[in-house]
Amino acid sequence: MLKRLLAWLEPQSNIVYRIVELPEQRTHLSGGDAETRSSIATLSSHPGFVALLNRLAVQNAALKGRLDHSFHKDLREVDILQAGVFWSNWLRSELERATVGAPQGRQVDPMEEELAAFRAIDAQIERVGEGE
């Protein structure tokens, strides 16, 4: 009986190698076309996206506050709260990384843009009585 118990406690050395083929190296924002990437990058200025990030920050602060300042029944509750804090921080950092560095369009002077629009409208006006 003791011999079987000791045999059961011995480490097994059955090493099995598996080859997993990945289609390609996935990097940050590698998928999609340029329009999709630029749309994702411009989310940082969208009011709804900013509101969602603020809600995520409030939820993260609530989780941290509950983790630090409340009584926990058991370690399972602490693990769940720590996981919530970790994943909310991870999500925030991924969203910030995806939306940082929004592509800057060509720099246009607003006055020049308005002047060009004014000249385009002025060219379409038919003048009566000029030059007579």
Measured CA to CA, the distance from residue 52 to residue 84 in angstroms comes to 17
With respect to residue 70, please indicate whether it lies within any of the assigned structural domains: yes
With respect to residue 19, please indicate whether it lies within any of the assigned structural domains: no
Measured CA to CA, the distance from residue 70 to residue 64 in angstroms comes to 10
With respect to residue 87, please indicate whether it lies within any of the assigned structural domains: yes
With respect to residue 17, please indicate whether it lies within any of the assigned structural domains: no
Range of the domain at 76: 56-99
Over residues 77-119, the pLDDT tens digits come to 999 999 999 999 999 998 888 887 544 556 667 788 888 889 9
With respect to residue 64, please indicate whether it lies within any of the assigned structural domains: yes
What is the SS3 string spanning the chain? CHHHHHHHHCCCCCCCCCCCCCCCCCCCCCCCCHHHHHHHHHHHHCHHHHHHHHHHHHHHHHHHHHHHHCCCCCHHHHHHHHHHHHHHHHHHHHHHHHHCCCCCCCCCCHHHHHHHHHHHHHHHCCCCCCCC
Q: Mean pLDDT, the chain, as a whole number?
A: 81
With respect to residue 71, please indicate whether it lies within any of the assigned structural domains: yes
**Whether pTM exceeds 0.75:** no
Q: What is the mean pLDDT of residues 61-83?
A: 92
> Percent of the chain at pLDDT above 70?
78
Q: Which of 28, 12, 5 is nearest to 98 (CA)?
A: 28
What's the structural domain count of the chain? Answer: 1
Q: Which of 90, 92, 68 is nearest to 81 (CA)?
A: 68
With respect to residue 105, please indicate whether it lies within any of the assigned structural domains: no
With respect to residue 95, please indicate whether it lies within any of the assigned structural domains: yes
